[in-house]
Amino acid sequence: MSDRLDLFPPSSSLDPDRQLRHLFGFTDFRPGQREAIEAVLAGRDVLAVMPTGQGKSLCFQLPATLQPGLTLVISPLIALMKDQVDALRAKGIAAAAFHSGLSESERDRVVQDLKLGRLRLLYVAPERVQHDWFMRLLRSAWVSLFAVDEAHCISHWGHDFRPDYLRLGALRRELQSPPCLALTATATPMVQADIAEKLGLRDPLRVVTGFRRPNLRFSVQPCGSTAEKFSALEQALAEVQDGSAIVYCATRKHVEEVAVALSRVSLASRTPRHASRLTPHASRLSVGYYHAGLDDDLRAKVHEQFLSGRIAVLVATNAFGMGIDKPDVRLVVHYDVPGSLEAYYQEAGRAGRDGRPASCVLLFHRQDVRTQEYFIKQSGNEQADTLRELLRRMVAYTSVETCRQLAFLDYFGDIDERALGPCGRCDRCLDPPTTGATATDPEEHAAVQAVLHTVACLHGRFGATRIVEVLHGGLSKQVTRLRLHTMAGFGQLRSWRRPAITGLVQRLIASGYLRVEGLEFPVLEITAKGASMLDGKEPLLPSSSSLPNDADLFERLRRLRTHLAAEEGVAPFVVFHDKTLRLIASRRPASVAELGEIPGIGPAKLERYGRKVVEIVNE
């Protein structure tokens, strides 16, 4: 081992600044890099949370060139490994990657280099670690730094949990617990704690930094329908003057639909009739799409065309992005709400890498939350609660009242950046939500009262769409069957346009007068703040008298439940929750099929009790 040590500089020349300039060719460290590197060189465990593109790799690459021994880098993406290894080799640094894509001779070469102690850095995919012979090989090497990239993959609380990562703690112990550097672009304090525990970090230095993206303008646009989303998307694209745009959708189906619809628009806009609507650049926008269902060749081609600028607007699922580093993305639109703020910030953060102004627009149609709910159901039960919580935080973001950038800094725990205050660019900073509740305009004030009153009367039984319908005076089948047209608020905002009423409802949610309950079947409820706003104006109708016969039906349903429960020898709530009964009483399903649409009634219950319940309703 002694001949190997001779190859390395004595510790007195551990000069990160010099190395930064001479070997890596950079003049300054970026925020967080110096702290992380100095701690690593001092043998301390480090947990670094820095956004993508900030320069995490340098935090292990630079120490690897200054200290003896091997730096083992765990990384999940073969493509990224290759890029880094190539870049390091170009600088004359002995680096290699070990993964399933190597030919036999390449593999032998790496093993040979490793045995002879010739490597400074070795990149390994986590699944490699399962192989015994490979472990033996690693144990015989001297690992002086254990670097784990994408460390959030070790946590169930992260948005990209990978079971292979769970072995890393044991691997580290087998290697005599070398100092560990865990790196990630997205880790909430909870995920950080999880990483530290699972990797066995000892009093790690936490470097959380660089989450502010001062050139990005974040905004959320509430949309009441798919059509509204699409026109908002067109609008956003029309403002793109140069560079390119990414449109993220939650499903492959949406990707293809949106891409097709956009190509039509961009073709149509070449005809004189539409030409004036879009900017010159927008009318030339070439549209492409990308998702995991395309074959490898096509994906590679689309990727290449996007990078080269031949595709200006790329519609994609989240399969597109890992390792994308296109500097001039001017706009990232989320056509569907993502599953977590981590995912959102990472995807939106692909805008404006060049530091020039760029926009990140989230088109928020509440119904889209159901798609995410569906993904959660598919994901298997173990993680479902966690994912639901992540989704809840994502949805909560859409209605924060303060600066969007601050909301992200809070979420990621970047205290230093938070202290620097709001961004001054986002929709909240530029156009603070006016509640309307304090509006001086008497007409608007009356409208606010009407909305609050109607929501209060309906007592958490309906979502925004139905409320808007009632206020607007829509006589749909549902409305008449539920006798909503007999309510005081019915048609009170008849003179308003429906989107305007939707907008008012959204503002009242955003400013805390109303709140949305339930992800899958969201209903509107009035908050304490909203209720006190109403206080002293008109007395609130108690929930059960607002709908004629409601209480009566509820009673009859309860009697049925008591009867059924006694018959089966179970507690009444096993048959139906009160909440479910109330929903049945208010929605009055006329058939078993309609009953099946009420949350809380699965197929088994439907079959067992469905007919009897419907009989009671129709009595």
**What are the residues binding Zn ion (CB under 5 A)?**
403, 405, 422-423, 426, 429
* Angle at 53 (CA atoms; ends 52, 55), nearest 5 degrees: 105
403 binds, among Zn ion, ligand ADP, none (CB under 5 to 8 A by kind): Zn ion
The two three-digit tokens of residue 56, written as one number: 């995490």
| Residues at the contact surface with ligand ADP, assessed by CB under 6 A | 26, 28-30, 33, 50, 52-58
In the complex, least distance from residue 250 CB atom to ligand ADP, rounded to whole angstroms: 24
55 binding partner (options Zn ion, ligand ADP, none; Cβ < 5 to 8 Å by kind): ligand ADP
212 or 588: CB nearest Zn ion: 212
29 binds, among ligand ADP, Zn ion, none (CB under 5 to 8 A by kind): ligand ADP
CB of 493 to ligand ADP, least distance (A): 49
Q: What six digits make up the tokens of 192? A: 């950080």
Our CB check for ligand ADP shows the closer of 37 and 553 to be: 37
To Zn ion, the closest distance from the beta carbon of 1 in angstroms equals 55
Judged by beta carbon, residue 17 or residue 197, the one nearer ligand ADP is: 17
- DSSP SS3 for 286: coil
What minimum distance in Å lies between the beta carbon of 511 and Zn ion?
16
Please identify, using beta-carbon distances, which residue of 83 and 525 lies nearer to ligand ADP: 83
Residue 52 binding result from Zn ion, ligand ADP, none, given CB thresholds of 5 to 8 Å by partner type: ligand ADP
CA distances to 177, 266, 269 from 273, in Å = 69, 12, 7
Contact 599, 571 (CB under 8 A): no
Q: Binds 359, which of ligand ADP, Zn ion, none (CB < 5 to 8 A, cut-off by type)?
A: none
Q: To the nearest whole angstrom, how small is the minimum distance from the Cβ of residue 407 to Zn ion?
A: 9
Q: What's the token pair of residue 386?
A: 């966690």
Of ligand ADP, Zn ion, none, which one does residue 254 interact with (CB within 5 to 8 Å by kind)?
none
Rounded distance between C-alpha atoms, residue 21 and residue 431, angstroms: 44
Q: Please give the Cα distance from 597 to 356 (Å, whole number).
A: 49
Quick one: 64 or 516, whose CB is closer to ligand ADP?
64
Judged by beta carbon, residue 28 or residue 615, the one nearer ligand ADP is: 28
Q: In 3D, which of 290, 296, 301, 304 has the Cα closest to residue 252?
A: 290
Q: Closest residue (Cβ) to ligand ADP?
A: 55
- Taking phi first (over 0 means left), then psi (-120 to 50 degrees means alpha), and beta for anything else, what does residue 121 get? beta
Q: Which does 422 bind (CB under 5 to 8 A by kind): ligand ADP, Zn ion, none?
A: Zn ion
Going by C-alpha positions, the residue among 211, 188, 213, 215 that lies closest to residue 414 is 211
Could you tell me the smallest distance in angstroms from the CB atom of residue 601 to ligand ADP? 47
- The smaller minimum CB distance to ligand ADP, of residues 48 and 487, is found at 48
CA distances in angstroms from 562 to 98, 158, 555, 567, 581, listed in the order given = 65, 44, 11, 9, 12
Distances (CA, A) of 250 to 215, 281, 460, 528, 558: 26, 27, 28, 35, 41
For Zn ion, the closer of residues 266 and 405 by Cβ is: 405
State which amino acid sits at residue 519: L
Minimal distance, residue 30 CB to Zn ion, in Å: 23
Q: ∠ CA 276-277-282 to the nearest 5 degrees?
A: 100
- Of ligand ADP, Zn ion, none, which one sits near residue 429, judging by CB under 5 to 8 A according to partner kind? Zn ion
3-state secondary structure 399-444: CCCCCHHHHHHHHHCCHHHHCCCCCCCCHHHHCCCCCCCCCCCHHH
Q: Binds 76, which of ligand ADP, Zn ion, none (CB < 5 to 8 A, cut-off by type)?
A: none
Q: Least CB distance from residue 359 to Zn ion, whole Å?
A: 13
Choose between 297 and 431: whose C-beta lies nearer to Zn ion: 431
- Nearest distance in Å: CB 50, ligand ADP: 6
